[in-house]
Every structure is written in structure tokens, then in C-alpha cells.
Homo-oligomer: A and B are copies of this chain.
């Protein structure tokens, strides 16, 4: 039995919905369908979710937003008309939306969550109607009825463990289950959304709850690429990678799959298949617990910019119990998270995302480190890029580090930092932002020998 999830771009028009219909019905194992809100129909289009956010915000500010609300309804109407579904479903959606928009606004966060979630919820209703119209037994299932309960954290809901048992009972239902992504219900009965792209999370939770054999995630790319296609032309597609590899890649710039979404599938050991709605015969990318190592040590190369480093040196730092812990605590007290802490004997470098630290915070952090820790030197360096070379097979491969370092050296890229823990799923190189492209290209050339975009 399979859980199938479709993203917004797969649901942006009647033509797309038709593809979805054929994909779902071509395999009787596909039992539960999780859907996003309609995405962009064309490049300059607005996603329904974004329309809904604008609409809710205007309602909160002025008490009405007739044009935005009608624009939302219009998007569903266009799809329904294209599919010749008739007006009744659109009337239902309009009623539902206006009831929501004119409802209780005493808790603005919760109000916003409820309005946002209607994008998925109404789309699930529309899609269930279309499947039935095509003669297939299918029912819209409300997450509250199904027992998908979450913590009361609007925009960042965490699934409650009891949900899995509740969802398991959906197995008894006859026909297809059309399930809205992106939200669950608090124990008080309020709609609470997951973080953005949360439909991936719903699919993963449902796969876990239903004890599915496979979680299929349909999007608009053929596969996860081994490197950013804006750096390398026709990059190699990854046919199989592990959860950990996926997580390392998605951390540093790979946005195909929401990484929090992997957890429920990962915990249940359910493979995730990423496929293309527009090219369903393409093999796609499978995310698994373990994979055979057949394609060399490296599975992918990811990179991201916007990092900075705080270099702290103090003679005999190494002898001071608690020095590193206290340095990290100063960051924590400023609400900062860090990424890595490479160190020498008497120095440590804290790498963190620049965006979370404004100039005033930076001055305050430096001052605290100098004064509380009596550091000899504190130097902040900006505009760093982190490059992750990822692959489980690196663990047993003696020469991978040498190959990576040599490739960077030959491309005249200076390595600012290296970090490789004993997991060896990944190797991190810190370089200057200006050298990111050159560095990624050199590493890709070394491990995949592809065509570069210069």
C-alpha cells in the first residue's frame, strides 16, 4: 500500500489534475492521496497559499478583502470549469472560505493558520469530487475526523504520537482517501499548520500511520540532482540515497524535499520515492534506510551561502574546563544557533548563519566573549559559503578527502575550514562566498565529471 503526495505545481490546473488522476488510478496500491493547495499555474501566477495569507492579513487589518477572497475562489473555479465539474463544489468552497474569513479573529495567529489551511482543505474536497465525477470511489477525509492531532504551535505544529494509531484506522475505509496536507488539529479542535511546505510532512505522517510500503512524493522535477543545476549543466540524477544523505543535502541548499518531513517515514523505515507528475515514467529518486554502494563515494554536493565565522583564540584555551561550552552559551543567550565548531588547540571557530545576527548583536557577542572569557583575539569573518560533499560510502573510502582537497587546490580555491566528524556521511568545506561556484564545480568535476556552466 502506498501513500501518494502531490505538490502545488501538480495541482495548479485542470490539466495537471488530470495527470494526477491517471497517476493515482494507474496503480491500485495507491490508497491515500495527500494534496497541497493549488500552486502557480504560470510563472507570474501567485500560489493560492500566498493569496490566502494576503487575504487573512487584510481581513485582520481592515475587516474585509473581497477582491483577494474572490481571487482565491476564482482559482478553484478555473480548475473546476476546466474539468467540467459544475458549480456546486465551487459554491461550497466559497461558503467555507467566507465563513472562515469572517470568523473569530481573537487569536490572529490561529486565524491565519485556519485561513492558510483552507487552501489544502478545499483542494482536497475539489479533487475528491473530481475523482468521483470520473467514476472512482474516493472520499475527502478531514484531518480532525481522522485523528491527526498536533501541538498547539501555529505555523510549526508537531505531530502527537497518538495520531499514528488513529490514522491506522483509515486502512479500513473503502476506496481512495483524499487527504489535505499542511495541517492538523490541536486537542482543543483548532486548525494548526505545519511549517511551510508542510504537505510533505502530512504525507510522511500518513505513510507512517497507515504503515505504507512506500511514500510517493510527486513534484515537478524528474529526480534529486547530485549538484545545483545552476552551477553544472545536466547534472547527474540521484536514483537512490539514504535519509541521512538526503538530510545533509537538503540542509545545504537542496530544496526538493522538506527535511522535517522525512522524520515520520524515517522512523518507520518507509522508503520515499520522489517522482515527477509531468513525467511519471521517469524513475525518480528513492530515499531509503540503507543503499547499496555502487556509484562511488559521493552521492551529491550541496552548498549554501550566508554564513559567518567567529574565531576565538586564547593561549592555553585547551586547559580551561568549560571554555567551549561557555562560548556556545553566550551565543545561546543571544538566541543564535551555530552550525559547526572547528577548533585548533587554543582556538575555536564558531560557524553560524549570518542572517540571524545583526550588527548590534554581533558587537554584543564579541564583547561578551572578550570580557567573560578573556579571549586574546575575537575575529568575525563574513560572506562564507559552506560546501557539503555527501555520501555514506565515504566512510570506508580512504582517498575521498584527498580527492576533494586536491580538486579544490587545483581550482585555486582556498579552504578556510574543514570539518569531518566520525559519521563521515559528509565532509564540510568552508570557502569564501565568491569562490562557492568555482569550488562546487571543481568538486563535481572530480566526483562526477560533468559539464560545467561557467
Contacts and interface: CB of A to CB of B under 8 A. Distances in A.
Interface size class of A (residues with CB under 8 A): 35 or more
A148 to B, nearest CB: 20
A341 B325 CA distance: 11
Interface in A393-449: 396, 398-399, 401-406, 408-410, 412-428, 430
A347 B412 contact: no
B417 A248 contact: no
Number of copies: 2
A329 interface: yes
A410 B406 CA distance: 13
Contact of A325 (B325, B345, B396): B325
A123 interface: no
A421 B332 contact: no
A421 B339 contact: no
A89 to B, nearest CB: 39
Contacts of A324: 328, 338, 341
Contact of A402 (B318, B325, B343, B402): B402
Interface stretch (A42-50, A197-205, A228-236, A309-317): A309-317
B423 A347 contact: yes
B415 A418 contact: no
B247 A421 contact: no
Interface stretch (A104-112, A114-122, A258-266, A279-287): A258-266
B343 A332 contact: no
Given A338-B324, A349-B421, A421-B311, A402 B398 contact: no
Contact of A422 (B262, B402, B417, B424): B417
A372 interface: no
Interface of A: 243-244, 247-248, 251-252, 259-260, 262-263, 266, 309, 311, 313, 315-316, 318-319, 321-322, 324-325, 328-329, 332, 335, 337-349, 381, 388, 396, 398-399, 401-406, 408-410, 412-428, 430
**Interface residue SS majority, chain A:** mixed
Contact of A344 (B259, B335, B398, B423): B423
Contacts of A319: 337
Contacts of A410: 402
A413 B259 CA distance: 34
A297 to B, nearest CB: 12
A430 B419 contact: no
B402 A345 contact: no
Contacts of A322: 328, 332
In the complex, the 4 A-B pairs of residues with the closest C-beta atoms, listed nearest first: A402-B405, A399-B409, A325-B328, A402-B409
Contacts of A325: 325, 328-329, 332
Nearest to A388: B345
B405 A342 contact: no
A151 to B, nearest CB: 15
Nearest to A407: B402
